[in-house]
Structures are given as structure tokens and as C-alpha cells.
Chain A
Amino acid sequence: MSALSYLDLLHLVLPQVIVVVAALVVLSVDLIFLRTSETHLRAVVAAIISVAGCTAAILWILHAPHSANVLDGMLVLNHLAQRMQITLLILTSLTILVFIESTFTQHISEYMALILLATVSMMFLVSTQNLLIIFLSLELLSLSLYVLTGFNKRSARSAESALKYFLFGGISAAFLLFGASLLYGLSNSTNLERIANSIPEIVHGPFLDPLLIVAIVMTIVGLGFKVAAVPFHFWAPDVYQGAPVPSAAFIASGSKVAAFFIFYQVMVIGFAGAEGSSSWSGYAPGWVPALAVVAALSMVLGNLVAILQTSVRRLLAYSAVSHAGYMLLGILSHSDQSFRALLYYAITYALTVLGAFGVIALVEEETGGDALSNFAGLSRRAPVPSFCLLIFLLSLAGIPPLAGFFGKFYLFSSVLTSSPAAIGLLWLVVLAIAMSAVSLYYYLKVLKYVYVLDPPAGITPRRISLVRQFVLCVMALGVLLLGCAPNLLLRWL
């Protein structure tokens, strides 16, 4: 192993350092200069500093692209990892900007700092191939998210959902750690590639080593929790509904992208050689069939339960479960193309769902709730955000020419082209397409309230600040543009 000075290491993780410094600056500026100012001003200043920090980190990555693999895969920087870091930073900035006027808390600087710290952990997460660092970053991310979930001290729901999230998260972290320790025992390494190299020694014919099977299942449990796949999804509806809107949006967007990225890395790099097969007529044990079951359950359960929801946030939670099901297809077909398709899907999904939460926040501020009935007649009160919501929800339903449609098309076709025998996965693709036909029903139901029903009497439309309308429009335009010209994103990744 080559010697590495701390200075070199700092140089490689400078983007993360920049974001951490931004978090500290946010805290101290608020503490020193703005203690007595009004909330709105503090929020704007904190947001500006945070976004400036993210921008500086992005610029640094673009300015000095690195390629490195140091400390036994603990820090792996390559083109893709850096592009993912930029994506995550952009998503964080958008989250901050779209919720710039939320007023659920007095502790604005702490809130921003936590979001930035979560971003740092996600940046580490996408630039490592070592189980230890993966676990550490996941924990750092989760801890930040638990606090962000329970940040609204005035709401009992928020506290309840944070506790649920924490309990489930703690258990799943234990599973993940147990799986990792088994893997370490089997391969004597925490580096994903070395783990994979040791797998042939313990695979005997068509059967896998029982310990390896346990390790696979444990890992899927731990990471399945992060992406909210059935049956590890129980936290999602409560958190989506109870958490402050910006936190929910952040959990639904940025953290999903990072989690799927690392899920793919762990399964495909770490368990290479133990794939197995879930073809219709060619079952072979491995992690692919296990994921296929999880994916199929997520698609079916997520879509069917979403139909029954009356709270739009819970509806989005179950729709997130079903989208996790679609995205798992990209992992289990494990080809380069399906990885690209997965990233395209995850990124556009994050953008879309962030926008949807942006509109939900508007509605909650205006009417005090997120039930379907609160959306009645929104298009008459707020035409621009309504139109943005139309674009976001139709994209989630997979209506062309929006990004969600191309994401689905690319993902499903890449699943089938991933290998010559992959046509056997057609049953999963058929299930996914059938289920996305179901999903149109509940997305249209929300849009029915927005566009068709008349607004209830007695609600006076509030003025919506131009900044928020502008950010929402930018995101809607992004969804439309990425759908019409998917090449922009595909070439960039």
C-alpha cells in the first residue's frame, strides 16, 4: 500500500471539507451575528451560505477532477463517483432553495448544518468501496436524517416518526453490520473487490456457502431499509408524513440516490460470482433471486397500498416504495447499461419527488394539511405550482415526454438486454409495467383534486414568493428537458 500523507488525503476530500466548513460557517454566523434578527432573514442567510458552500464544492470537483483509489478502497474517486457527488450537491442545493421559506423551526442554522452534514456523508458514501466506510457513512447519514425527521418540536407526529425511523434504522444497521462482519470473516477483507475475489473459493457447484447466504440476506436487509423496499419499508409512510417537509423531501430525494448507488456497488462488486439467476425458467440461488422477490413485492405492495391513501405525503411514500421496486430491477440485472439506467432513473426520480414536495409544502402552508381535500381547486389558487405538480406527478406515473417515462423505458429495456439470457427476466418487466399502469390511478386522483374539483370556500390564496415559483419551474423544466433529451444526462454521467 502506498504511503499517503494527510495533506494528500485532505486534498482528495476537499469537496467534503468545503461542505463541512460551510456547515460550521452557517452555525457560527447565525450564532454570532443574527441571534436577534427575525427568522426570515436568518433563513435566507443560512440558505445562501449553504448553497454557496455546495456550489464551491461543485466548482472544485469540476475544476480539479481526481482519480484515486487509496487505503484499500476506502476512498475511490473516479469520473462516476465525482459526477454523483455533484448530483448530490445539486439536489441538496435545490432542497434548500425550494424550502427557503419554511418556518417550522427557530433553529434554522442547526437545521441547515445537519442537511449539509448529511450531504457530506452521502458524498463519502458514493466514493468508497470499503464496507467499513460504507457503514460509517450510512450511519452518519442516518443519524442526521433521524434528527432532521424529529426536528419539528411542535409536532408530536414528527417526534413519533423520528423514533420509528430511529428504531427501524438501528435494527437494520445492526443487520448490515452483522452481514459485514460475516463477509469479513469469510474473506478477511472489507474491500468489496477482495470480498468478491474470495467468493469462488467458497462457492461449491450450484450451492452457496450458508454463511455467504446469511451475509447476502443481512446486507439486503440493511440496504433494503435505506431504499425503503418491501418488507423493510414500514418507516417510510410515517416519516414521509410526520417529518418536516424539507426533511421528508431530502430523505426521499438525495439520500435515495446515494443509497441506490451504494446498493448497486455492494451487490455487484462485493458479491460478484454469487449472482444466481431469477429467470423464469432458470432459477439459480444467489443474490439476484432474493432481490427479485424484494423488487416484485415492492412494486405490487407499494402501488396497491398507495391507491388507498388520502394523505398525499403517505401516497408519495408508498409510491416511493414502488419506485424502489422498479429501481431494484436495475441492480439485479447488473450490467453497465442497467447501472446507467438506474442512475438516470434515481436522479430524475429525486428531482421529481423534490419538486412534488415543494408543492406539498405550499399547500400545507396555505391550508394546514396534506390531505387530498386540501389540494382541491389548487389550479385556481396557484396555477404555476399546480402545473409544476402536474408535470412532477405525471413524470412519476411514467407519462412521456417526461423524465419518468424515459427512465422506465431505459431501465426496463436495459434489464432485458443485460445478458443474452436476460429475456427470462421478462416476467419482472411485465409486472413492473402492469404495476405502473396501476400507479396512474392514484397520481391522477391527486391531479383530479388539483384541476377538476372546485376550491373550498373560505380559503384566501396566499402570495407565493417568486423565488419558490422560479425554483419549482426550474425543476419542472428539468424534468421535461431530461425526458425530451435524456442524452444530456446520460452523456454527462
Chain B
Amino acid sequence: MLAWTIYISFLGVLALMLLPRSSVLVARILALLTAVAGFAVTVVSFAQQRSGELVTVAQASWIPSLGIEYHLASDGISLTLLLLTGIVAIAGILFSWNIEYRAKEFFAFYLALIGGVYGVFLSFDLLLLFVFYEIAIIPKYFLIAIWGSTRREYAAMKLALYSFVGSAMVLIGLIAAYVIAGGRTMDLVQLSQFPFPVHFQMWAFPLVFAGFGILAGLWPFHTWAPTGHVAAPTAASMLLAGVVMKLGAYGCLRVAMTLFPRGLDAWGFHVLGFGSWRDVFALLALIGIVYGAMVALVQKDFKFVVGYSSVSHMGFVLLGLMTLQQIGLDGAVLQMFSHGVIAGLLFAVVGRMVYDRTHTRDLSELETMHLGKVIPFAAATFILGGIASIGLPGFSGFVAELQILIGAWRSFPLAAIVAGAGIVIGIAYTWRAMQKAFFGASEPGVSADTHSLPAISIPERIGAVILLGASVVIGLYPQLLLRVIAPALHSPMFDGLWKGSGR
């Protein structure tokens, strides 16, 4: 039944394309219904599938001569990310309720992106996964280039090319793996059991991991992320930060780490203090955490603050993956969910609630507008979102980052300390942005004309409540997701990862 998440999304695209140009409201409602239907399908499956083990959704022969199958399946990790996709998709449509310019095309591209994302999370055949992975690239380009703001064409092209270069690296690795395994199957589960030669894994792992890592905001290939997030229209930034970056992290975990687990082994010699690819990527993740946070601290543009915070938080995901501890991987998957929801919320506040009303994102200009009084709902939402983002207990960010830190403490004690420092910087930049944007120094007598800003609309309120609710629910009861994530990480697919030499 989960396969319908994909089909529903693409049917939605088709329906939107056939719609007459003028029916904006119909387009919105149709898009919302499509997203809700996709989410409903996911929730029902989530409720049915209690254990989180691998369940095949659809399997059919696709290209028999090459042994390629149309194989959709889901386990706890997929389910978690599918839920995230559904939530962010619905919220994104609610936050783009004000789109008038070429609205039906907007929602068509939006749903095509969603469909591609659902497809990636469900594919268990490598070629199929790759197909969906690339389907997701093109709508991003048009969403940003047509409906975006600051330097949109540049940002859109940069994002598309970074994604495409990343996927080209992945494709090289996949074709080589397919050929070395005999060219008979592309099934992820079967290939993960295949004993690839260690010297092959040693170059294929970094290639594929970095290829997916580009989309996950791996430092130093993260530069597409802030510019892309900033230029994108609100709903697209929400999707980019909330879901698309997760595609990269998911690929790192699901493809790179399961196919080439020996690539994480020690090299047997040391270069510049690195003993394995694991050390290298852990350090890159760590740099991402601290660098992203420090750069966010000095931004003038409100949206760039959130954009760089995404880089920082995705660093936690990659660090969690590199711990190779049960608790660290659990935390990484949970962090994907948590960051998806929270980043979506923050981008919604910045892009929709603030920028669409004030038409500026310059923190020094916002400082004079007293937005905390003018649009208190936005201020409250951003405070709650900020609290969730810096990882206060009770929100999802806390559970996730705590688990990653514990995992990191066991694997790289020093890294845990530095990452902890990254969290502290996170408090600083969130606080600074909040202070400047909503609670600027009040100068008596300047009660500006900003009172004329339109009030926060109902769809925005609903969207904010959905996203905040998701974060709080997982923060209070993380077991809801952890109970499906943990068994998934113990499926036969991940055997190689746990049994790698020296672990």
C-alpha cells in the first residue's frame, strides 16, 4: 500500500497539469489533498507495521535482461522518513497558500519533488533508487529559479549542478558495484550481502558516501545549501532543508554504508593522523557542525542564519552515522526526522511569516520593526522552534542529539566535546537571530506603520502547529520512532556494518 504514496503524488502532478490556468484555489486544494492522502497512507502503514522490519511493498521484474527489478520495500528507517516527508509536504503547501504566480505549475513541480522523495525512501533496487533520486533534482531547479528570491537563477543552477555531480559520483560507484558483483542484480539487500573486494570498497565507499553527502550538506560541499535555501520560495526551502538533505543522509546510510562496510575499516596506516575513511568523514561532519554554527552567528540575512544552521545540524546526522554505534545510528535517523520538522518550521517563519510580510530579511532592518508585537504568533513560533532547534528537553532535537553525542563519546571522545561546543554556539546564534528579528531595541515614539502587516493566516497557523506538534510528540515519546528504527538497523542488510573488522 505504501507504493501509493508515490503514485498519488505523480497522479497529483498529472491532474495539476491538466487543470486550466486560472483555477488557483483548485490547484491549492488539489495539492493539499494529494499531500494529505500520501501522509494518510504512510500513517496507516506505520500503524500496521509494528516491528520496523523489512516489508516488501511491491516487487516486479523491470528489466529482466539486466536483473533489475521494480522493488519497493520499507523498514523502520524508511517509515520514519516517509512520515517526515508527509508532514513537511502538508505544511509546505499550507505555507505556500499565498502563491498566485503560476500556481498550478508551482504545485505540480512541488508534488513531483515529493513523489521522487517518497520513491527514494521506498526503493530497494539500486537503479530504482537512483532514478527517484535524480527525479528529485529537476523540480528543485524550477521551484527555485521561477519562484525564488535573492539570486535565484544562480542558486538554482548551483544546487542542480551540485546535486547532479553528487549523483554522478554515486552512479559511478553503483555501476562499478553492479559490474563487480557479476551484473546480475541491483537488489540492495542481495548486493549488501555480496563480499566486494576490500580494495574496491576502499575507493567506492568514499566516492558514494561523498556523492550522497553533497546532498546532505557535507562540509566542504555544503555551499549549495545556504544559497539554495535562501533563494528558494518558502515551501521549497522547507522541503530542501526538511526532506531533500535527508535524501543524501539516507543514501549515505542505506547505500554507501551497507554496500561498502569494509570501506570504513582502518587503512592500516596513518596519513595526517587519519587512520580510515571513518575518521575523515567524522572530522568533516564535525567541521560542518562548528563551521555552520559559527557562520550562522555572523549572518545579516535572517534566512541565511537558518540556512547555515541546517548545515550544522546535518553535521550531527553524519557524525552519528560515523560513530558506528547502535545509539549513534539511532540518533542519526531520529535527527533526520527532528531536523526535518524543525528546519521546516524555522524556514516557514522566516520565509512566509516574516519575509512575505515585511519584504526584507535583513536583521538590522527587522530590528526596527518590533515584529514581536506586530506578529506575536510568528515570534512565539520562532521561539519554540528555536528552543527545539538548540535541543532543549521535551523537543525532538534533544533526544536525537543526545544519542548522537553519547555515540560519539564512545567512538571519538574529543569529537563529542567539540560537537557539544557546536550546540552552545547554536544557542548563541538562535538567540541572536530571535533577539534581532523580533525583539529589537524599542525606541519610544517610533511606533512605525508596521501595524498594517497582514495577520497570520489560518493555513499558516495550522502548518506551524503540525510541525511543532510533531517535534513535541517525538521529544516526549521518542520510542514511537525508535521502536521501528532500532530493529531496522539490525536487519541482515546492516550485518556487514556491525561485523566489520576491528569493531
Tell me if A111 counts as interface (CB < 8 A to partner B).
Answer: no
Nearest CB on A from B218, distance (A)? 17
Q: Is the CB of B134 within 8 A of A400?
A: yes
Q: A399-B137, A399-B138, A423-B179 are in contact. Are A444 and B160 (CB under 8 A)?
A: yes
A433 to B172, CA, bound (A): 7
Q: A401-B131, A452-B146 are in contact. Are A440 and B176 (CB under 8 A)?
A: no
Tell me how many residues of B have a C-beta within 8 Å of chain A.
Answer: 33
Q: Is the CB of A413 within 8 A of B130?
A: no
Q: Is the CB of B65 within 8 A of A487?
A: yes
Tell me if A310 counts as interface (CB < 8 A to partner B).
Answer: no
Q: Is the CB of B180 within 8 A of A487?
A: no
CB contact list, A445-493 vs B, under 8 A: 445, 447-448, 451-452, 486-487, 490
A394 to B139, CA, bound (A): 12
Tell me if B142 counts as interface (CB < 8 A to partner A).
Answer: yes
Closest to A437 in B: B168
> Counting chain B CB atoms within 10 Å of each CB, which of A400, A441, A487 scores highest?
A400
Tell me if B25 counts as interface (CB < 8 A to partner A).
Answer: no
> Counting chain B CB atoms within 10 Å of each CB, which of A440, A486, A487 scores highest?
A440
B168: contacting residue among A410, A413, A434, CB under 8 A: A434
Measured between beta carbons, the chain B residues less than 8 angstroms from A135 are: none
Q: Is the CB of A441 within 8 A of B137?
A: no
Give A409-440 as 1s and 0s: 1 = Cβ < 8 Å from B's Cβ atoms: 11011001100000100100110011011001
Give B44-67 as 1s and 0s: 1 = Cβ < 8 Å from A's Cβ atoms: 000000000000000000111110
Nearest CB on B from A416, distance (A)? 4
Nearest CB on A from B188, distance (A)? 16
A447 to B137, CA, bound (A): 14
Q: Is the CB of A486 within 8 A of B168?
A: no
Closest to B64 in A: A487
Measured between beta carbons, the chain B residues less than 8 angstroms from A451 are: 142, 145-146
Measured between beta carbons, the chain B residues less than 8 angstroms from A400 are: 130-132, 134-135
Nearest CB on B from A396, distance (A)? 13
Q: Is the CB of B131 within 8 A of A412?
A: no
Number of cross-chain contacts by CB at 8 Å? 73
Tell me if B165 counts as interface (CB < 8 A to partner A).
Answer: yes
Q: Is the CB of B176 within 8 A of A426?
A: yes
Measured between beta carbons, the chain A residues less than 8 angstroms from B134 are: 399-400, 405
Give B160-173 as 1s and 0s: 1 = Cβ < 8 Å from A's Cβ atoms: 11001100100110
Q: Is the CB of B168 within 8 A of A433?
A: yes
Measured between beta carbons, the chain B residues less than 8 angstroms from A387 are: 17
Q: Is the CB of A487 within 8 A of B63?
A: yes
Nearest CB on A from B205, distance (A)? 16
Q: A399-B134, A405-B134, A452-B153 are in contact. Are A423 and B180 (CB under 8 A)?
A: yes
Give A205-218 as 1s and 0s: 1 = Cβ < 8 Å from B's Cβ atoms: 00000000000000
Nearest CB on A from B5, distance (A)? 17
Q: A399-B135, A441-B157 are in contact. Are A452 and B145 (CB under 8 A)?
A: yes
A412 to B177, CA, bound (A): 13
Q: A399-B137, A452-B153, A486-B63 are in contact. Are A416 and B176 (CB under 8 A)?
A: yes
Q: Is the CB of A417 within 8 A of B183?
A: yes
Measured between beta carbons, the chain B residues less than 8 angstroms from A445 are: 157
Measured between beta carbons, the chain A residues less than 8 angstroms from B168 are: 433-434, 436-437
A444 to B163, CA, bound (A): 13
Q: Is the CB of A440 within 8 A of B160?
A: yes
Q: Is the CB of A444 within 8 A of B135?
A: no
> Counting chain A CB atoms within 10 Å of each CB, which of B17, B65, B132 scores highest?
B65
A385 to B247, CA, bound (A): 32
A426 to B175, CA, bound (A): 10
Nearest CB on B from A477, distance (A)? 13
Q: A399-B138, A452-B145 are in contact. Are A490 and B164 (CB under 8 A)?
A: no
- CB within 8 Å of A: which residues of B? 17, 62-66, 127, 130-132, 134-135, 137-138, 141-142, 145-146, 153, 157, 160-161, 164-165, 168, 171-172, 175-176, 178-180, 183
> Which 4 pairs of residues, A with B, have the shortest CB-CB distance?
A400-B131, A437-B168, A416-B179, A452-B145
A-B contact pairs, 28 of them (CB 8 A): A399-B135, A399-B137, A399-B138, A400-B130, A400-B131, A401-B135, A405-B134, A409-B175, A413-B66, A413-B179, A413-B183, A416-B175, A417-B179, A433-B168, A433-B171, A433-B172, A436-B168, A437-B161, A440-B161, A440-B164, A441-B157, A441-B161, A448-B145, A451-B142, A452-B145, A452-B146, A452-B153, A487-B64
